[in-house]
A and B are shown apart, each in its own frame.
Chain A
Amino acid sequence: MEDKKKSRAPVSQQSFKVEKPTDLNTIGGTVTVELNEKKVSVPFGTTILEACRDNQIHIPTLCHHDDLCVAGVCRVCVVEVEGMRTLQAACAFPITSPIKVKTSTSDVRKARRHVIDLMLSEHFGECYSCIRNNNCELQSLAEEYGVDGYTFGHVTKPTYEKDLSSYSVIRDMSKCVLCKRCVRTCIDLQEVGVLEAIDRGDKTHIGTFLEKPLADVICINCGQCINRCPTGALHANDPSDEIWAAIEDPKKHVVIQTAPSPRAAIGECFGLEPGHSMTYQLNSALKRIGFNGVFDTNFTADLTIFEEGTELIIRLFKALVQKDTSVALPQFTSCSPGWVKYIEHFYPEYINNLSTAKSPQQMFGAILKTFYAQQIGIDPKDIVSVAVMPCSAKKFECNRPEMNSSGYQDVDFGLTTRELAKMIKEAGIYLPEMPKQHFDTPFGDASGAGLIFGATGGVMEAAIRSVVEFVTGLKVEDVFANANVIPVRGFEGVKYYEIPIAVVGPVPDILKHLVPDWNWLKGATLKIAVAHGTANAKKVMDDIKSGGKFSECHFIEFMACPGGCIGGGGQPIPTSLEIRKARAKAIYEEDESLEIRKAHDNPYVTMIYEKFFTEGPCGHLSHKLLHTHYTPRGKYIS
Chain B
Amino acid sequence: MEANSIKQKRTGIVLFSEYKRGEGISKALEIGRENILFEVRSSKLKGRGGAGFPTSTKWMLTAASKADEKFIICNADEGEPGTFKDRVLLMEYPELVFDGMVIGGFTIGAKVGIVYLRGEYEYMLSFLEDYLEKMRKDNLLGKNIVGKNFDFDIEIRLGAGAYVCGEETALIESLEGHRGESRNRPPYPVNRGFNGCPTSVNNVETLASVPHILIKGGDWYAKVGTDKSAGSKLFSISGDCKKPGVYELPWGTKISEMLKLVDAPSAKAVQVGGASGICVPESQFDRTFAYEDIATGGSIMIFGKNRDMLKVLKNFMEFFVEESCGQCTPCRIGNVKLLEGVEMIEKGEFTFDYINKLKDLGKSMQIASKCGLGQSSPNPFISILDNFKDEILNKIEAK
> Which residues of A does B touch, CB under 8 Å?
10-16, 70-76, 78, 85-87, 89, 92-94, 96, 107, 110-111, 114-115, 118-119, 121-122, 151-153, 177-178, 180, 196-197, 199-204
Contacts and interface: CB of A to CB of B under 8 A. Distances in A.
Contacts, number: 144
A12 B182 contact: yes
A75 B329 contact: yes
A96 B334 CA distance: 32
A16 B192 contact: yes
7 contacts: A10-B176, A11-B196, A14-B183, A86-B368, A87-B367, A118-B361, A178-B332
Contact of A200 (B173, B326, B337): B326
Interface string B172-198: 110010111111101100001000100
B375 A201 contact: no
Given A111-B368, A119-B329, A201 B183 contact: no
A200 B368 contact: no
B333 A119 contact: yes
Contact of A12 (B181, B186, B321, B365): B181
Contact of A73 (B169, B180, B327, B334): B327
A122 B330 CA distance: 12
Contacts of A10: 173, 176, 178-179, 181
Interface in B321-363: 321-330, 332-337, 340, 357, 360-361, 363
Contacts of B326: 178, 197, 199-204
A169 B180 CA distance: 28
B184 A201 contact: no
B330 A12 contact: no
Most central of B320, B322, B330 by chain A CB within 10 Å: B330
Interface residues of B, number: 48
Given A122-B333, A200-B325, A201-B332, A94 B367 contact: no
B332 A12 contact: no
B184 A72 contact: yes
B370 interface: yes
A15 B192 CA distance: 12
A111 B332 contact: no
Contacts of A114: 330, 334, 360-361, 364-365, 368
Nearest to B374: A75
A238 to B, nearest CB: 29
Contacts of A72: 184, 328, 370
Q: Looking at B176, B183, B323, which has the most chain A CB atoms within 10 Å of its CB? A: B183
A417 B15 CA distance: 69
B170 interface: yes
Given A11-B173, A94-B186, A75 B370 contact: yes
A92 B368 contact: no
Given A110-B360, A202-B333, A89 B324 contact: no
Contact of B327 (A110, A152, A203, A204): A204
Nearest to B326: A204
Contacts of A70: 184
A74 B329 contact: yes
A200 B367 contact: no
B162 interface: yes
B178 to A, nearest CB: 4
Contacts of A73: 327-329, 370
B366 interface: yes
Contacts of B370: 72-73, 75, 89
B369 to A, nearest CB: 7
